A and B are shown apart, each in its own frame.
Chain A
Amino acid sequence: MPAGTSAGRPAGQPAREAGGTAAGAPVRPHDEASAHTPADAPDGTAPDARDGSEAPPGTRTADRTGTPPRTLAEALRNRGDRGLAALLRARPDLLSPVPNDLTQLATRAGTRASVVRALERLDRFAQQTAQALAVAVEPTSYGTLLALMSGDDGDPAVEAALPRALEVLRERALVWGDDDRLRLVRTARELLAPSPQHPSPTGLGPTAAEATAGMSPGRLQEILAAAGLPTTHDPVSAVASLTSLFTDRERMAALLDTAPAEALAVLDRLVWGPPYGTVAPPGDSSGAAESTPVQWLRDRGLLLPSSLRTVVLPREVALHLRGGRAHREPEPVAPGIEVAAEHRPQIVDSTAAGQAYTALATVEELLKGWQTGGPAVLRAGGLSVRDLKRTAAALDVSEQIAAFWLELAYAAGLLASDGGEGTSRATGEGERFAPTPAYDEWLDLPAASRWTALATAWLTATRTSGLVGGQDAKGRTLAALGPDLDRGAAPEVRHRVLALLADLPWGAAPDPESVLARLRWEHPVRTPAQPAPGTPEPSDLRSRIAVWTLTEAELLGLTGRGALSTAARTLLAAPALPATADRNRGERGAGVVPGTAETAPEPAGGVPVGSATHGPADLAARAALAAGVIAPLLPEPLDHVLLQADLTAVAPGPLERPLAEALGVLADVESKGGATVYRFTPASVRRALDAGQAAADLHAFLARHSRTPVPQPLSYLIDDVARKHGHLRIGAASAYVRCDDDALLDEILADRRSHGLRMRRLAPTVLAAQADPATLLEGLRGMGFAPAAESAEGDVLITRADAHRTPHRTPPVPVPDGPPVPNDTLLGAAVKAIRAGDLAATAVRKPAPHTGAGELPRTTPAETLATVQAAALTGSAIWIGYVNADGAASQRVIAPVRVEGGFVTAYDHTADEVRTYPLHRITGVAELADEPA
């Protein structure tokens, strides 16, 4: 890392984090941010004096000016505060809880989980660098590392990129030590070093020394002899001499020159890994020594045995054959994003705005449909597949896209489960989905703000609608709006994808494959199996999220024709510095900004932190800006429609909401899109009349909102429907009074006593009453009339007191006190069972006659383990108390064979077979006095 590169960073570079302290960075090349790098170490005293006030200066000064660090903790101690902050930012898991001191921090940074996490978050080249360090001899010098990365021939791209990669590893505390003595953190080394179980991505095998461990000295001598080396009886020096041969390019070349062609072919197969090969056991080919190429290689130690049937290519040999390179294809430079198509920015913006408007309309339509009788919430949460299908059909989109709109509305807080509220109104029972009160507020916003509300909700959401319809690990289908759809990586990937799009020129649409390739470089998947080129579906989650992001951004109108719109660029903010915005490392910024356009977007750290460091307030501010950008592009709501004689109305654009709502009642929507086509039908007009409108209102409404005269057929239709509307009247009454004499009914109505019966005259000879017939009869009789009841058929009903009867009933069954007297069968069975149990008890006791009072033996778990282990070693039998899975206790005599993983495998004398007992179920053990027979 060249000293003072930070000076090359252009002054005034915006978007630095950490506010005030960082502001001075560009003009102070020697601030502490750059001080801790190895290159700057010689003048480290100066910055140290400046920041000494905030920590015990004594120890740190001593460390920093003294010898190179001996441990990671010391290396961390030598860092400036910014270096530590960078570490904690890059590995936030180290912060919870906040470590007490640097030793603890170093320890925690070396834990397996944390290291795995840190390694996963490296970009591909940094990972490759770490992998190379893992196969190098510790400590490694920078030169050795460079040779491993670039090979014997050198590679300018690798040379240029390596300092950065190394710096990243240092920053993340995965590598420490200065350039002469680079050390990979031990855990990382263990994780990355090749072993038969975990093949290294480098494809390298174990070193010769590791592979020959445990080999007989005699065999070593033979190898030395065959390889033409002086023999030595000391195995250590023998291995050393072999290793030095393997690492000596010239001697190796000479040795390989003598190899038969087939042997070289064998080496070719193994050289790029996996380094293990299966061969016939050596015994088989003993008769024909030197006959096979493998044999030739084995004799010279170019292949070393790793087990009976496998051989391994020692690392040094492989490196020689590879020309010193640890990786077949080092990828020092992030793959560029290829432009698939270029559109005029205006086209992009207008297309995106059109889609943005569609998004608003779709969400509105979706929620409008759900505000009465939304679908039920599944018991496990989420929406049933059938309801999703129905929603998709209603929106006229695929289920996957319907799920996206649902999740979008949910993420934006516009839609939620009602939690069982309002069940009284709903037909069914249980929870239903319904729009939230926030939906009403959202509706009142201007269109542009409604859009930004959706867009920001989508950007920050961890829920991923793309998973809907797939299955979780247990094979359950993931439901829309249901649980288990959260993916923590989603917002970050979304931001990163959009940031990559933002780096393209305006109007340029990327090739999705190249975006995926770039993401995979920045954040390689853990499994080394890269998707083969041409595989249609990327399998890893990040790539899938990225693919969804591209689709969803288009749906949402963030992109138009694949290119990022101006509004989206505003929303994402500072598009030129997406990756550096959260970075304050001087040299990092310097590496990024002055570079060519090609390297500029390269994320220095590999991990786009994304929204994590953008505060919500920041996002809101940018959303407001974006709303301003998109607002003029969204269509203005109209206040008129075109009425036509074929009984349709066309709204040539979005309508003002009150108009749209009124028209939605009066006519059926026939076609949607930029415009809306409504059709008037008798049913739709009747609906409007039912909603309380009069024909005159409807005429006035249409005349007001039509630019042209209302067509005659439409006026006629309204009048025709209105003519019939309400012709028949329906109401509820409990009883009626009919009488052929109008005057009598007049009399009843006039009588004050009849008020309680709530009677109303329907026709000259009919009264309807809200009181039930019996009350009415009573009431009228009380008033001195003599009414007769009428049946449904109109006959006079003769009332007579019916004798009341219950429905069919069975007499009560007697309830005796205590259990019933057992019968003979039951008794016989019981006796038999008791006898059998007794027999079993005595049978168990037999092989261990000395078991005291028949109690289970009780010993402490430690004692149990020790005794069982001892018995396994000596092969003796012991007596145990055991509780089975049903909780039944028994005593057994067993001869333990093996004790591992909390289980005892033993020959059970009691059951006469080999069984496995969990140790925790053994209540206790006792040694037997003598061997059972």
Chain B
Amino acid sequence: MNGPLIVQSDKTLLLEVDHDRADACRRAIAPFAELERAPEHIHTYRVTPLGLWNARAAGHDAEQVVDALVEFSRYPVPHALLVDVAETMARYGRLTLVKHPTHGLVLSTTDRPVLEEVLRSKKIQPLVGARIDPDTVAVHPSERGQIKQTLLKLGWPAEDHAGYVDGEAHRIDLDESGWALRPYQKQAVEGFWHGGSGVVVLPCGAGKTLVGAGAMAQAKATTLILVTNTVSARQWKHELIKRTSLTEEEIGEYSGAKKEIRPVTIATYQVLTTKRKGIYPHLELFDSRDWGLILYDEVHLLPAPVFKFTADLQARRRLGLTATLVREDGRESDVFSLIGPKRFDAPWKEIEAQGYIAPADCVEVRVNLTDSERLAYATAETEEKYRFCATTDTKRKVAEALVRRHAGQQTLVIGQYIDQLDELGEHLNAPVIKGETPNSQREKLFDAFRNGDISVLVVSKVANFSIDLPEATIAIQVSGTFGSRQEEAQRLGRVLRPKADGHKAHFYSVVARDTIDQDFAAHRQRFLAEQGYAYRIVDADDLFADD
């Protein structure tokens, strides 16, 4: 009766972290409950059907879940909730996709009425073929992804036992000289390989690339890697050459600039989703080789068309990498049914506690606008308001003051609006990297930054993802893509690489007070606040009063 867990009627679980049994409880509930918020005293987990099915996919049964809830709960668990958990979990695996020796891909059931129910659905009918026996129905192999998606929407997620093609074998080994996979990275690789396909959730800076490399070394097959942009593609390539037995010749880049197809090919989402005359000309990439593994970097950004292609690739192993499963478009269920269930997850603070990511001090700097700026803001058009308050002069001055304050440390100034960035670059006498900066120039600047030749870099959102800048210590965000939570997390991730001397990273978000900027900032910070990054809010005047 004195457990650390409180089960709420809305199916959230509150875990008191300071409780003696909190760790045991966390381990017990982590398989089926999503960590939603991890502030300092009480962590909130949510029990969702997806989470329960994730647990089923990982081999947990309803009894374990119920036991965990009852065992650790401080108050009696509502009976209805337990019943609901059991019922929800029982829905998973009633239907399985298997390979039939003669009929190919079939959907078979252990519960005939369920099969009858789903076959009656208009959305399922075009996806299935002949009824083979009362418990089995043929499925068009091309609809393997589609039917999984549809069944999940109907509430009867199918277990996919149809297996994977091995793909074209290609020798890939990890080259672990002078470094080794961290324990959690190993766990992530094992979790993925054991499950066949799925998503690994790791904080920014926790070494997702290495998990990808580890997975490739397991698969030992030709691999297609999908990344967000060209810079990131180069970085993957660089990292793979450094960490694996792969050579430069074996890795191809398929982007706007180059169209190489090699045993390991790194393609950008952008080139894949380029549409010409109503068709996707680069789609054939998926069929150009017999891929044994497909890696999705930043799976939370996966564009909708890629989902559609992915639906057709269900026979290949798929690994999704991300820092957060939060999608601003709410398509988490598509990730579940098309890429696979979550196979590994580690809270940010836990990795930080292990020393693999740097501790960070997050500060929201509130800036008072001048009277004339306030007046201009009040009269601005609604759609211009954010742009206006995000790019005020006062903000620029505060950003400059912050840079000065941390002079000598590797500092990134990140913003959304090019004019603002250019202006900042000018005032700070720092180079600016933006969309139009050629890739060669970008690489050069990033290298200079890594080497310490330049200490301040002004970057636009091109640097949001997958840019490895280990020595960046200070990030100053002057504007962002409205209220995007994942962008904030990604930007914080820029400074989270562990520092050589173990010093703290600083993340400043400069926000104009009493404007829409402040509301967006509050929304942006929610994910990180929930991950346990407590923002301090400081008035710009106070901040510099000490100086």
Chain A residues engaging chain B, CB cutoff 8 angstroms: 350-351, 353-355, 358, 396, 554, 560-561, 635, 642-648, 650, 652-653, 671-675, 677, 708, 711-713, 716-717, 720, 724
Contact = CB atoms under 8 A, between A and B. Distances in A.
Contacts of A675: 6, 8, 14
Contact of B6 (A646, A652, A708, A716): A652
16 contacts: A351-B76, A351-B79, A354-B75, A354-B78, A358-B9, A642-B16, A643-B41, A644-B39, A647-B529, A650-B41, A652-B14, A652-B42, A671-B9, A671-B14, A677-B12, A708-B41
Contact of A677 (B8, B79, B526): B8
B265 interface: no
B75 A396 contact: no
B74 A724 contact: no
Interface of B: 1, 6-10, 12, 14, 16, 37, 39-42, 44, 73-79, 514, 526, 529-530, 534-537
Given A355-B76, A673-B8, A724-B514, A713 B44 contact: no
B529 A646 contact: yes
A77 B389 CA distance: 101
Contacts of B14: 650, 652, 671, 675, 677
Given A350-B1, A358-B78, A713 B534 contact: yes
Contacts of A350: 1, 76
Nearest to B8: A673
B8 A674 contact: yes
B524 to A, nearest CB: 13
Nearest to A401: B80
A712 B514 CA distance: 19
Nearest to A635: B75
Contact of B534 (A645, A653, A671, A708): A645
B526 A672 contact: no
B79 A560 contact: yes
Nearest to A554: B79
- Which of B14, B16, B73, B78 neighbours the largest number of chain A CB atoms within 10 Å of its CB? B14
Contacts of A554: 79
A273 B14 CA distance: 64
A113 B75 CA distance: 54
Q: Which 3 A-B pairs have the closest CB atoms?
A: A354-B76, A673-B8, A645-B534
B6 A396 contact: no
B492 to A, nearest CB: 15
Contacts of A652: 6, 14, 16, 42, 74
A644 B40 contact: yes
Contacts, number: 101
B7 A677 contact: no
A835 B530 CA distance: 95
Contacts of B530: 646
A350 B42 CA distance: 24
A645 B8 contact: no
A716 B7 CA distance: 31
A354 B8 CA distance: 12
A650 B6 CA distance: 11
B79 to A, nearest CB: 6
Nearest to A676: B8
A662 B529 CA distance: 25
Contacts of A717: 537
A358 B81 CA distance: 13
B145 to A, nearest CB: 35
Contacts of B534: 645-646, 711-713
Nearest to B38: A646
Given A354-B75, A354-B78, A635-B75, A674 B537 contact: no
B153 to A, nearest CB: 23
B10 A672 contact: yes
B79 A673 contact: no
Given A354-B77, A677-B44, A713-B536, 15 more contacts: A396-B10, A644-B40, A645-B39, A646-B530, A648-B37, A652-B74, A653-B6, A653-B74, A671-B12, A673-B6, A673-B7, A674-B73, A674-B75, A711-B534, A712-B536
A720 B537 CA distance: 10
Contacts of B514: 724
A672 B8 contact: yes
A355 B79 contact: yes
A671 B8 CA distance: 7
Contacts of A674: 6-8, 73-75
Contacts of A646: 37, 39, 526, 529-530, 534
A711 B7 CA distance: 25
A69 to B, nearest CB: 57
A708 B74 CA distance: 21
A354 B76 CA distance: 5
A644 B41 contact: yes
Nearest to B537: A716
Contacts of A560: 76, 79
A929 to B, nearest CB: 80
Nearest to B82: A561
Nearest to A708: B41
A893 B12 CA distance: 85
Nearest to A675: B6
A205 B230 CA distance: 94
Contacts of B7: 673-674
Contacts of A653: 6, 74-75
Contacts of B73: 674
B43 to A, nearest CB: 10
Contacts of A724: 514
B352 to A, nearest CB: 16
Nearest to B12: A671
Contacts of A358: 9, 78
A653 B8 CA distance: 11
Contacts of A671: 8-10, 12, 14, 44
A578 B9 CA distance: 36
Contacts of A712: 534, 536-537
A270 B41 CA distance: 77
A95 B78 CA distance: 48
B2 to A, nearest CB: 11
Nearest to A681: B522
Contacts of A713: 534-537
A412 B40 CA distance: 43
Contacts of A642: 16, 41-42
A689 to B, nearest CB: 16
Nearest to B531: A646
Contacts of B536: 712-713
Given A358-B78, A711-B534, A673 B39 contact: no
A645 B528 CA distance: 11
Nearest to A557: B76
Nearest to B530: A646
- Which of A350, A353, A652, A674 neighbours the largest number of chain B CB atoms within 10 Å of its CB? A674
A561 B6 contact: no
A631 to B, nearest CB: 15
Contacts of B535: 645, 713
A673 B78 CA distance: 9
B215 to A, nearest CB: 34
Given A644-B41, A645-B534, A648-B39, A355 B78 contact: yes
Contacts of A643: 41
A644 B42 contact: yes
A677 B535 CA distance: 20
A561 B39 CA distance: 34
Contacts of A645: 39-40, 529, 534-535
A652 B74 CA distance: 9
Given A646-B526, A652-B14, A673 B76 contact: no
Nearest to A672: B9
- Which of A353, A355, A675, A713 neighbours the largest number of chain B CB atoms within 10 Å of its CB? A675
Contacts of B76: 350-351, 353-355, 560
B12 to A, nearest CB: 5
A309 to B, nearest CB: 45
Contacts of A351: 76-77, 79
Nearest to A353: B76
